Amino acid sequence: MNIAAWIDDINKITLEGMKDHDLVSPSLSIFISNQFMPIKDVVKVGEDQLFVYLVDNISLIQEAFVAIQNKKYPIFPRNIVRTTWFENKYTASETTLGPLYKKDGTAFTLWAPTASNIEIIMEGERRLMRRNDRGVWDIWLPGDLHGNIYQFAVTIAGKERIVNDPYARGLTANSNASVVVDMAKTDPVHFREITYPKITKDKAIIYEVHVRDLSMCSESGIKNKGKFLSFTERHSRNAEGYSTGLAYLKELGITHLQLLPIMDFARVDETEPEKDYNWGYDPLFYFVPEGSYASNLSNPITRIIECKQMIQSIHEAGMSVIIDVVFNHVFQYENSTFEKLVPEYYFRFHENGSVSNGSGTGNDLATERKMARKFILDVVDFWLKEYLVDGFRFDLMGLVDLETMKQIQSRCSQENRPILLLGEGWELDTALDKSQLSTLKKADQLPEVSYFNDHFRDQIKGNTFYSTSTGYVNGEGRNESFLPALITASCDHRFHTPMFSCPLQSVNYVECHDNHTLLDKLQLSNPTISEEDRRKMHQLATGLVLLSQGVPFLHAGQEFFRSKNGDENSYLSGDKVNQMEWRKRGREDENIQWIRKLIQLRKQHDHFRLQTAKEIKERVHFIQVPVPLVGYLLLGEKKDFVIVINPTNIKHQITMPSHGRWTKWISNLRDSKSPISCLLQQTAELDAYELAIFLKYR
């Protein structure tokens, strides 16, 4: 017989794999710590399954087994860890978990309520930990343990497993073991003394980049290629003398640098990082920076110091730092520290016992469970206080429960600087009622959280998941009727049903690390037109991102027509596909300067960054222009702007909305250094694929 036995409730054991004759007249006994447990009832529920109900409640911390026909089978905790009884009895939300370092000794605290025994292993020696209330285990070890390597030996249902500390502050190479860290020794000079930027969300211009992509190109002029330290090289240039790296980003004028995951992740051999590539959405340990980005793995502290040096350098360059966090899944849940410490607790399961997989990665974190929520909040708190990050981008945020996101929102509001929160609000098939998830439909309950506006993306360039689909800029004005809603941050009742109550909840984008780059999409959707026209379409799309109400979001290299050679999902594709091509820096400088000019325009004039739906209704008005052109007027106290977009391949005449001296100030078809042209009459001409900005002083 191949029998599995599970504790599914406080007095219920499920037996699976029973043969037919065993079901007819099962001869079984239940023992806990070798003590016989009287059986109240046995119920057949399937062809090979029994429910065994006991007279007394079950102890989770003692070894249990079922005896059937003189054979013993261990009983493992399962569904019981997901019961209300378990939450009430073992939740330890107020307990400080993880290592607490002091010079004279370190306290180690671990939550593992179903474990019967835990030992800490340090320098080859084992020491028994003490079990306290609510499933908390702890031990204090004397001496200055900074740099010491440790692990836990955790015994559950008679089986011992070696486990790293989920709250570890440091790790050896490839996450092999936890490391004690005196975090005070990891701060760069003046790390907590510099005046870091305090940029509010209405002024945010987000730029997404992968740590490795920024510097790996042979022509980047950056020495520390693929490392945190690449961001500390503030004057890098390519062979032609054009700025690259952080110097370039500062010149471009973006306000927030959003980094793809920098917490410890899988699939890259940290000892030979050049052999592998990964975006980082395979999380392992959340309190430790990724080791492949460090210059020296022999010292576990190096990655921490260099990550802080990167953040400090970005701050000193006048930019804020957003980090991409993955709280919706882990890499290989069955091998995760969570599953080894409290099996079946940290993940969602369907009623049939299968693992929930809304993330598409094999598992969904059960963020709604109190100790999972505590872990997430502890991670957020740690990166805010220890690494001084300025925001979080939540991967697949629609899988994170609403209450957890509300508590994250509340925690971040306590900081004395603006913390920017944004995420993907997709509705995915997970084992939690949709009413409890942080999807786009719940945006009104998370007013401080911004959502990626997929409608903006798809109406502008065509459906992301259909490469030949076209939108407004590449379909001769297709979807023109949706443009007013998109330009007003999907929050204006005048144009379709609002998605948001506040414009700053809309993250406007047409390109990110996922899917095709905008240029690759245009090549697939419009293969027969000239390259020049595709580039103009690209300019229209990026221009709309920067000139619409809401929060603009750019993907690294978008401003110089980044391509991944048609690779739609480059998460493991390597540096050749993913690196920023700094050789294009000079060749595309004219377009870069145009984007830079739009960024400066947005920064200098509040017309483009209104903070309420009421302001938008009062100051944004759409004007009569030939269909499918779109034009709108932005009213100001001393000056007005008119923006007109022509997505067609022919010229069009437009009439300005009011009398006065209008100036054609900026256009994607004019050299950014060209002189301003004044209109001698109330009409103007727009060339094919032109985006023009007109200005009039009052």
- Does position 21 have pLDDT exceeding 80, yes or no? no
- Does position 672 have pLDDT exceeding 80, yes or no? no
DSSP assignments along 571-603, one per residue: TTS-HHHHS--TTHHHHTHHHHHHHHHHHHHHH
- Does position 313 have pLDDT exceeding 70, yes or no? yes
Q: Look up residue 661 and give its two tokens.
A: 């001296």
Catalytic residue among 165, 306, 324, 424: 424
- The Cα 318–Cα 311 span in angstroms is 11
Cβ-based burial of 681 (10 A; exposed 0-12, middle 13-18, buried ≥19): exposed
- Does position 674 have pLDDT exceeding 70, yes or no? no
Tens of pLDDT, residue by residue over 92-103, are: 999 999 999 999
**Which pLDDT score is estimated for 113?**
97
**Which pLDDT score is estimated for 25?**
52
Tens of pLDDT, residue by residue over 397-434, are: 999 999 999 999 999 999 999 999 999 999 999 999 99
- State which amino acid sits at residue 200: T
Tens of pLDDT, residue by residue over 583-641, are: 999 999 999 999 999 999 999 999 999 999 999 999 999 999 999 999 999 999 999 99
The reply to whether 424 belongs to the active site is yes
Rounded to an integer, the average pLDDT of 457-473 is: 97
pLDDT band at residue 282 under the 50/70/90 scheme? very high
Strand partners, 198: none
Please give the backbone phi and psi of residue 185, each rounded to the nearest 5 degrees, phi first: -85, 0
Average pLDDT over the chain, rounded to an integer? 95
- Work out the angle at residue 345's Cα, subtended by the Cα atoms of residues 342 and 350, and round it to the nearest 5 degrees: 145
Torsional class of 158: left (φ above 0), alpha (ψ -120 to 50), beta (otherwise):
left
Closest by CA position to 668, among listed 590, 571, 554: 590
> Using an 8 Å Cβ cutoff, are 220 and 301 in contact?
no
**Which pLDDT score is estimated for 660?**
84
Closest by CA position to 532, among listed 566, 555, 561: 561
Torsional class of 21: left (φ above 0), alpha (ψ -120 to 50), beta (otherwise):
alpha
Q: Which CATH class is domain 87-163?
A: mainly beta
**Which pLDDT score is estimated for 18?**
81
- Does position 675 have pLDDT exceeding 60, yes or no? no
**Which pLDDT score is estimated for 151?**
99
Rounded to an integer, the average pLDDT of 129-146 is: 98
Superfamily name with CATH number, domain 619-697: Golgi alpha-mannosidase II (2.60.40.1180)
**Which pLDDT score is estimated for 1?**
63
Rounded to an integer, the average pLDDT of 267-284 is: 97
Share of the chain above pLDDT 90, in %: 89
CATH topology of domain 4-77: Immunoglobulin-like (2.60.40)
Assess whether the region 4-77 and the region 87-163 belong to the same CATH fold. yes
For the chain, the structural domain boundaries read 4-77, 87-163, 619-697
pLDDT band at residue 680 under the 50/70/90 scheme? low
Tens of pLDDT, residue by residue over 185-239, are: 999 999 998 888 999 999 999 999 999 999 999 999 999 999 999 999 999 999 9
Tens of pLDDT, residue by residue over 510-531, are: 999 999 999 999 999 999 999 9
DSSP assignments along 596-625, one per residue: HHHHHHHHH-GGG---SHHHHHHHEEE---
Neighbours of 567 (CB within 10 A): 17
Catalytic residue among 395, 492, 559, 640: 395
pTM comes to 0.96
- State which amino acid sits at residue 446: L
- Does position 88 have pLDDT exceeding 70, yes or no? yes
